[in-house]
Amino acid sequence: MSQVVEVFTDEFSTIAFQVLCLFKHYKVPHVERNIIRNPEALKDFRRLKLTLIPSFFIGGYRHDGYQAEVWVKLLKHHYDIHVSLPEMQVLLPVQRFWDEEISEITKPIVFNY
């Protein structure tokens, strides 16, 4: 009997979206637990002391964040799904809000009392 992977996601993680697409493509039994849309998922996320999106729970073990190397091994072990490391890679977001020019972020703040 295969175990189902619980995938904790939110509305913002492009990595979580890519992982869900990979799981669908390779027919990995999984359930999405969106912590924005589902209050119970948020409670479980906190109770399990997860800190990153996506995070996973499989076989009694938690996996905070996505690591392709780990998932190549987990898929082989739990589901006998053989995939290469390049097949499990995800693309990191290219543009992030913290990439703004540092001068824009560190402008002095003047308080008038």
pLDDT per residue rounded down to tens, the chain (113 residues): 458 999 999 999 999 999 999 999 999 999 999 999 999 999 999 998 899 999 999 988 999 999 999 999 999 999 999 999 999 999 876 665 555 554 454 445 555 55
Query: Do the beta carbons of residue 64 and residue 50 sit within 8 Å?
Result: yes
- What number does CATH give the domain 5-99? 3.40.30.10
Q: Which two tokens stand for residue 84?
A: 């290469």
pTM score above 0.85: no
Token pair 């072990």: residue = 77
Domain extent listing, the chain: 5-99
Q: Which two tokens stand for residue 27?
A: 């027919």
Question: Is 26 in a helix, a strand, or coil?
Answer: coil
Q: For residue 54, is the peptide bond before it cis, meaning its omega torsion is within 30 degrees of 0? A: yes
